[in-house]
Chains A and B, each alone.
Chain A
Amino acid sequence: MVETELPLDPISLINQVLEHVYEYLSSDSRVIRPGSIRSYEAAAADIYFRILLEQGNLDEDKLREIITRVGIQNLLLSVETQNPEEKKLILEEAFEYALNRVLRGFDEFAKQGHAPKKRELEQKQATGDRASSGTGQLRARSRTGSERRPGERGEEETDLNVLTSSVSEDVSLSGLRQGQAMYSGRTASLRTTGEIVNTQVEEVSMNDEMEQMISTIYEAFYGGVGTVNFMNLAQLINMFVRYDANIIKKVQVLKKLEKYLRGYGLVGQTTYTKLTQGDKKILEEFRRRTRGYSSDMAQMKVMKFVGSDRYPTYVVNMREFKFGDSYSNIDLYKTAINISRKSLMGKMITSRDIVVKEYANVKSIDLVLCLDVSGSMRELSWGMQKIDIAKDAVSKYVQFLTNTNDKLALILFNFRADVLWTLHQVKKYWKYMLYLLSYVYAGGGTNLAHALERAREVLSKSKSSAKHIVCVTDGRTVNAQLCIREVMRLRRQGATVSTIAIGENSDDDLLMKISRMGGGLFIKISNIHDLSKALIIDKLHFL
């Protein structure tokens, strides 16, 4: 049996050590992430090369020291532990465990009492080894090594001698090549240690996808002449997660990014989360007043490009709205007329204005809201930034939708569009939505076509029969022609499109065209303070 074993070469020794390090880290509850495959590959090549640089001045202690130090250097930023201060310590433990296993055999190591998780590892040994028996010779070797009886251990020392002598050659070109190939070529050497590779496949594809995303983002980012290098919030978040990730994930990312945004001065003082109850009241009052003022002077124009019979349903009865009524039962046409009349007069909307039809069936809509966050939204309107008012309006809209079964996605667009959150049921996720919303900031150009394209992407995953898009913008977009083409595509998918134009600079001709082709509403508000009303009118019009 002894004769059949090949001498230990440095590359497979390093690989075995790293394999055990990975094993140790993955089974340790203090570790959140045992590290990426890239960092293990780099560690293997780096350790190997570093040993070559020693030019043979190497005893076992030095060897252990180099493997541990260089290994940790490479893994440090990739491994994540619950307590960052413990990270180095845990890594040192992992290397000690791994080196002892590879150089001395597991039994002796356990006898020395250094194995902190002996029982756990023994279990792993019993079950895990059988499972991984396909991982080839390296694994088989290390197992026989650990199962060897004490008398046979002398043979391990010879292994080590072979190792040190085989690395004591001078830094040779072949050595260099081998080291480089291990890392940059990502060739067989590390792949043979199947376990690392297998368990990491998912992570790799995740990474690849992320890389692809970042590069797409950047291609567009630096793509056109005359772009403003300004990322919107959604774009920034989506650099770290998939655009269609669950909203909770996005919130987590935002929490991490929060301090950068603050450092960049992109977060205003009035984020909802930070306000005390008293502050909120004052702010509400202030907003109510400013809104009240503006409503007197503001104008709202609603144009309808859709018949009230768009969703044929059997109407049983008609009555005024009562608390607890399902919104899907509202008579859109009559209610919209009531509301638009009232809002033109600047009066409060009451439940009496909402007319309920009792339908035979109940629907829910998948809604996509595209919000303009270009630089013009930073302008002040009645002492408040337009973007803040828009955020306020959208949060009202979200709160309004919590009474429905509707799903809502939010797309932010400036020079490019990105999904801040994809379709989620408002009823369940509204809190997350409001949180994300509170960090939205404005800056950059306007590209509505891209927003529509993104909306189509989002809706392509929708299973609902009613799909609706609302675009809120205050300016002129690039690529007007492309917008029209996107709307046609959306129509073919069965979605409807409404537009809300704010202020004097908007490209009403285009927006009207979009609404007409999109079979939705065109709502023109001269003042952004009316945005929340406009959104709700639009919503009531569509089921």
Chain B
Amino acid sequence: MVLRKHTSEQAKTGTSQNQYSDKLLENLPRLSDLLKREPIQVEKLVAEAIRTKGVRKILSELDKVLKGLGDVALDLLSSLAIGRHVLIMGPVGVGKTTLAETIAEILAIADPPYIEVACHSHMTATELTGDIDIAVALQAGLDHPLAFIPGPLVLAHGRILILDEINRLNPYSQAALLQALQEHYVYIRGFRIRSDFLVIATSNPAEYSGVYELSEALADRMKVIEINYPDREVLRGILEWKSNALLEHLGVKVPDFLVELTTNFVTLLVQDSNIEVGPSIRSAIFALANAMSRAWLEGREPSINDLKVELVENMVSTIRGNFSSEQEKKEYLLKKFDEALIIAKRSYKR
């Protein structure tokens, strides 16, 4: 919208394309500004935000996005308020990333309130810190807005830094992160840039998806919050709510029985000792929605078989356990589905 407004202005006044891009450049930080940065006590900002918003308000806002995570959210808030970095750990798709983002958004200690990094194993330290573009620096000087491309560690100053899947961070990038955490400065080619931020990291429990272990010094700076699967009733609520939200624009609603059936299926898998890596709530939501939308496409009522196919297809890649082959896993899941069906039928008869 801003863009369109500007072009009409441009047509009127006849400003050149160049000036337009200069305007955009003005919004970028210059190295000299970054070097002048003052320390920010981010934990104070968080505490202040909690105080002005009130705990209840925060929790009720969170409840609009995630259910059953109130206690976990308070654990998160309390450690941010004392300046302790957090690592949220839990199985796939239980809302780790969403929790981190939502809490950061609600606190809104800066604009934007958080910087998010999706960590991957080939990340270099400079991808985190940022770097000087020598070519630009030589032509336009070090202080040209494009001469320095700040990385997330620099951008996160005064904010929350969300490091998604931190277990994928290799030791080199871990070391760059560690340095920023302990010194509150980021070093780029000899320049020292102040950066204060609080980290919310997420990770799947290391034994199955951990590419890298956290270094001792880094681990010592983090507290671990574990998220587990929600209780059956809460889970049921989440499945119903989120799958219907996905289907809203199609004008269909998931039948109660299918929600019940999916809930049973997920619960059975969570409790199963043969399974090491449990089911994902996200997959369950999508399985429900997919089964519905397929039936909708074909202009018919959704069947139990639609759901069976979708659930097994969606889950087979996330679940890991005591299986000798993919085929065996698939058959196992099909068997579990039938069990879930029997239980659901029984409870519906009553």
* A residues with CB within 8 A of B: 36, 38-39, 42, 45-46, 49-50, 52-55, 69-70, 73-74, 76-78, 171, 173, 176, 179-180, 182-184, 207, 210-211, 214-215, 218-219, 221-225, 227, 229, 231, 236, 239-240, 257, 260, 263-264
Contact = CB atoms under 8 A, between A and B. Distances in A.
Contacts of B125: 229
Contacts of B170: 260, 263-264
B118 interface: no
A42 B84 contact: yes
B217 interface: yes
Contacts of B84: 42, 45-46, 74, 183
Interface in B241-257: none
Contact of B216 (A183, A221, A240): A240
Interface in B64-119: 74-75, 77-79, 81-84, 87
B121 A263 contact: yes
B46 to A, nearest CB: 10
A222 B217 contact: no
Contact of A263 (B78, B129, B132, B211): B211
B172 interface: yes
Contacts of B175: 214, 218, 239
A50 B178 contact: no
A73 B225 CA distance: 6
Interface stretch (B28-36, B187-195, B323-331): B187-195
Contacts of A260: 170-171, 212
B50 A36 contact: no
Given A176-B51, A183-B84, 4 more contacts: A55-B55, A182-B82, A211-B182, A260-B170
A239 B175 CA distance: 9
B82 A218 contact: no
8 contacts: A50-B75, A70-B75, A176-B81, A184-B83, A207-B220, A218-B175, A223-B187, A236-B171
Contacts, number: 131
A70 B78 contact: yes
Contacts of B129: 222
A257 B172 CA distance: 12
B215 interface: yes
Q: Is the interface of A mostly helix, strand, loop or mixed?
A: helix
Contacts of B189: 222-225, 227
B319 to A, nearest CB: 21
B223 interface: yes
Contacts of A236: 171
B228 interface: no
B316 interface: no
A183 B223 contact: no
Contacts of A69: 75
B304 to A, nearest CB: 39
- A-B pairs, top 8 by smallest CB distance, nearest first, are A77-B219, A50-B78, A222-B187, A49-B78, A45-B82, A176-B47, A74-B223, A183-B82
Contacts of B132: 225
B163 to A, nearest CB: 15
Contact of A46 (B82, B172, B221): B82
B187 A39 contact: no
Contacts of A222: 129, 187-190
Contacts of B216: 240
A35 to B, nearest CB: 9
Nearest to A65: B71
B43 interface: yes
B293 interface: no
A219 B126 CA distance: 14
Contacts of B212: 260, 263
Contacts of A218: 175-176, 179, 187
